[in-house]
C-alpha cells in the first residue's frame, strides 16, 4: 500500500516512510492511495478476535512493508500497557446509551491508542535503520503526555513537546514533566496551543533543520495515529448488539478532528457506521462548519475541556481531500484561501452523516452532574460535552476520551466526589522538570540544537 499527500506534490511513500515523515514536504497530510474494503464476511470473521488481533488484521492492510510477525509483535507490545482486559470496553448505560471507554492506557486518554503504537514503530525504525530520531510536537495537553509515554526511554529517540504554559491541567503537565526520563523534554511555551503549533510548523517547513535533526512529528497529523484510531471504532461496532450497531450515532468529543476522521474513514472502508456527531466545547470552529458550512478561525478561549481548545483543525485537510473530489489542486487552493483569509465557505456537506453540537463551558459541570444522576456514570469534562443533546431518534455511543481522574477539580465541583487513578497518585510525588520558552520558532530551534540526539 502506498501513501499520497493531500496536496499532491510530495513523493508517494510506503507505510514506514509516511509514518517517519509525519507532515508531507508539500505541507499536506498523508492518506492511503486507495482505501481497502471490509466486507460483511470480513466483519463476521473479526468478531471473535482480541483487540490486538483485530488491530493486526486492520493495520496489515496498510503496513504492507512490515513483515507480519514484526507488525504483530509491535501491536502486542503497544496494548499490554493498557489497564483493562478489553482495552476499549463498551459500557451500556441504558437501552439507547452506550459509552466507549478509551482511557485505559498509560496516560488515561484516548491518544494512548495511537501513540503507544507509534512509539513502538519509531523504536523499531531506529533499530532497523541504525538512526536516531528527534520527535517534536505541540500539545494542548493529552497528545503530549501520550506521545511522551509512547517514547519514554526508547534508545535513539528524543522527544520535545511544546505546550501552553499554565493551560494544561496540573496532572497533564505532571504526566509530561515528571517522567524522569532523560530523552523527554517538556517545553512550557509562553502562549497558546496555536502559537506553539505555528512555531513548530515553521521549524518543520525548514528542510535543512528538519533533515539535520531527522525531525519527526507525533501530533495528530501522523498517518499511524489516524489508522490506529480506526481500530477502536471497528472493535466497538463488533461489540454492540446487532439491532443497535447499524443505527447508533457515534458521538465524538472533538478538537483537531483526528478522532472523528478515523471513524469516518472506517465508514468509507465499508463498515456500516451510521453517522457521527461532532461534539465541540466553546471553541467551536467545527460546530460552525457542520451547521453552517462556514469554516472560520476565532480566538481560542481556555475551557474545562482543554484538549479540545483548538480553533484550527489540522486533520480537517484529510476530510477536505475527499470532499474536494480527491483533487490535490483543489485542496491547495482551498488551504491557500483559508491561510490568507482565515475563512472558507463550503457548500455541500454530508448532512446525513454528520451532526454537530457545541457545549458552552458553563454547561460542563451540569452535564457531568446529570450523567452521574441519570446513569451513575462519571464522565470527564471532554466526554461530558458529548452528552449534550443525545439523539432522540436513535441510540448513541459516546466516546469517553479521558478518565475523570485527570480532571479532579471539575469533577469535585460537579458531583462532590474525587475520582482517582493509581498512576496519577504516584505522579504527584515526583519532581517537575520543565523548560520555559517564549512562543517563537527561534527559541525552540535553539533548544533543539542543544539537546537533539
Ligand atoms: C485530544 C483529545 C480530544 C480531541 O481529539 P481530536 O482528535 O483532536 O478531535 C478530546 N478529548 C480528549 C480527552 C483529548 O485528549
Distance of alpha carbon 235 from alpha carbon 240, whole angstroms? 9
Could you tell me how many residues make up the chain? 453
User: Is 291 a domain residue?
Assistant: yes
Q: Which residue among 253, 277, 400 is best mutated to probe the pocket of ligand 1, counting the most ligand atoms within 8 A of its Cβ?
A: 253
Take residue 204 and report the three cell numbers written for it.
Answer: 518543520
How many structural domains is the chain composed of?
1
- First vs last Cα of the chain: how many Å apart? 31
CATH number at residue 251: 3.40.50.1100
List pLDDT tens digits, range 107-129: 999 999 999 999 999 999 889 98
CA distance 101 to 370: 19
How far is Cα of residue 123 from the mean position of the Cα atoms in its chain? 20
Q: Is the dihedral of CA 168, 403, 81, 66 positive or negative?
A: negative
For ligand 1, say whether the CB of 112 is within 6 Å of any of its atoms: no
Does ligand 1 lie within 6 Å of residue 309's CB atom? no
- The answer to whether 353 touches 268, Cβ cutoff 8 Å, is no
What is the per-residue DSSP string for 186-248?
EEEEES-HHHHHHHHHHHHH-HHHHHHTTEEE-STT-HHHHHHHHHHHHHHHHHS-HHHHTT-
Give the pLDDT score at 422: 85
Tell me which residue range forms the domain holding 284: 86-108+224-420
Cell of 338: 483559508
Summarised one tens digit per residue, pLDDT across range 183-227 is: 999 999 999 888 998 999 899 889 999 999 998 876 668 899 999
Kind and range of the H or E element at 341? helix 328-341
- Measured in angstroms, how far is the CA atom of residue 260 from the centroid of ligand 1? 10
Q: Is 256 in the pocket of ligand 1 (CB under 6 A)?
A: yes
Residues 6+ positions from 434 with CB-CB distance below 8 Å: 165, 173, 176, 177, 186, 187, 188
128 found inside a domain: no
What is the number of other CB atoms lying within 10 angstroms of the CB of residue 436? 10
Residue 401: its pLDDT value, please? Answer: 97
Q: Would you say residue 410 lies in a domain? A: yes
Q: Is residue 437 part of a domain?
A: no
Whether 428 is covered by a domain: the verdict is: no
Span 56-67, pLDDT tens digits: 999 999 999 999
In a domain, 237, yes or no: yes
Q: Is residue 244 part of a domain?
A: yes
Q: Quote the CA–CA distance of 111 and 146 in Å, as a whole number.
A: 6
Give me the pLDDT at residue 312, please: 75
Give me the residues of the chain with pLDDT under 70, please.
Answer: 218-220, 348
Residue 197 forms part of a structural domain:
no
The yes-or-no answer on residue 268 being catalytic is no
Amino acid at each position: 500500500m502506498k501513501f499520497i499527500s493531500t496536496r499532491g506534490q510530495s513523493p508517494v511513500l510506503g507505510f514506514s516512510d509516511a509514518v517517519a515523515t509525519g507532515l508531507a514536504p508539500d505541507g499536506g497530510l498523508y492518506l492511503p492511495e486507495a482505501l481497502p474494503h471490509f466486507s460483511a464476511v470480513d466483519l463476521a470473521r473479526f468478531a471473535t478476535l482480541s483487540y490486538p488481533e483485530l488491530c493486526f488484521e486492520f493495520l496489515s492492510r496498510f503496513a504492507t512493508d512490515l513483515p507480519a510477525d514484526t507488525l504483530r509483535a509491535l501491536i502486542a507490545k503497544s496494548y499490554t500497557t493498557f489497564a483493562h482486559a478489553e482495552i476499549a470496553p463498551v459500557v451500556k448505560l441504558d437501552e439507547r446509551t452506550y459509552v466507549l471507554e478509551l482511557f485505559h492506557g498509560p496516560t488515561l486518554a484516548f491518544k494512548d491508542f495511537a501513540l503507544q503504537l507509534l512509539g513502538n514503530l519509531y523504536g523499531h525504525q531506529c533499530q532497523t535503520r541504525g538512526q536516531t530520531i528527534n520527535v517534536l510536537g505541540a500539545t494542548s495537553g493529552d497528545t503530549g503526555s501520550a506521545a511522551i509515554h509512547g517514547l519514554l526511554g526508547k534508545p535513539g529517540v528524543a522527544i520535545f513537546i511544546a505546550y501552553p504554559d499554565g493551560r494544561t491541567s496540573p496532572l497533564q503537565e505532571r504526566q509530561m514533566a515528571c517522567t524522569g526520563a532523560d530523552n523527554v523534554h517538556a517545553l512550557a511555551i509562553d502562549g497558546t496551543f496555536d502559537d506553539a503549533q505555528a512555531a513548530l510548523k515553521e521549524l518543520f517547513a525548514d528542510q535543512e533543520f528538519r533533515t539535520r535533526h531527522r525531525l519527526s512529528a507525533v501530533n495528530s497529523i501522523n498517518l499511524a495515529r489516524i489508522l490506529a484510531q480506526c481500530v477502536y471504532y471497528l472493535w466497538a461496532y463488533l461489540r454492540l448488539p446487532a439491532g443497535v450497531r447499524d443505527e447508533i450515532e457515534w458521538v465524538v468529543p472533538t478538537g483537531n478532528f483526528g478522532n472523528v476522521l478515523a471513524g469516518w474513514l472506517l465508514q468509507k472502508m465499508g463498515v456500516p457506521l451510521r453517522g457521527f456527531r461532532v461534539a465541540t466545547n466553546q471553541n467551536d470552529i467545527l460546530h460552525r462548519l457542520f451547521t453552517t458550512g462556514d469554516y472560520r478561525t476565532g480566538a481560542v478561549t481556555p475551557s474545562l475541556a482543554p484538549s479540545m481548545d483548538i480553533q484550527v483543525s489540522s486533520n480537517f485537510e484529510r476530510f477536505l481531500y475527499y470532499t474536494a473530489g480527491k483533487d490535490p489542486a483543489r485542496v491547495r487552493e482551498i488551504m491557500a484561501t483559508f491561510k490568507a483569509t482565515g475563512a472558507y465557505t463550503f457548500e455541500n456537506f454530508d448532512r446525513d452523516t454528520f451532526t454537530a453540537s457545541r457545549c458552552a463551558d458553563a454547561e460542563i459541570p451540569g452535564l457531568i452532574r446529570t450523567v452521574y444522576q441519570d446513569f451513575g456514570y462519571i464522565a470527564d469534562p471532554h466526554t461530558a460535552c458529548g452528552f449534550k443533546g443525545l439523539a432522540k431518534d436513535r441510540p448513541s455511543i459516546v466516546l469517553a476520551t479521558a478518565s475523570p481522574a485527570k480532571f479532579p477539580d471539575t469533577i469535585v465541583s460537579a458531583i462532590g466526589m474525587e475520582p482517582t487513578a493509581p498512576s496519577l497518585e504516584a505522579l504527584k510525588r515526583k519532581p517537575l522538570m520543565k523548560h520555559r520558552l517564549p512562543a517563537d520558532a527561534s527559541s525552540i530551534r535553539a533548544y533543539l540544537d542543544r539537546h537533539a540526539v
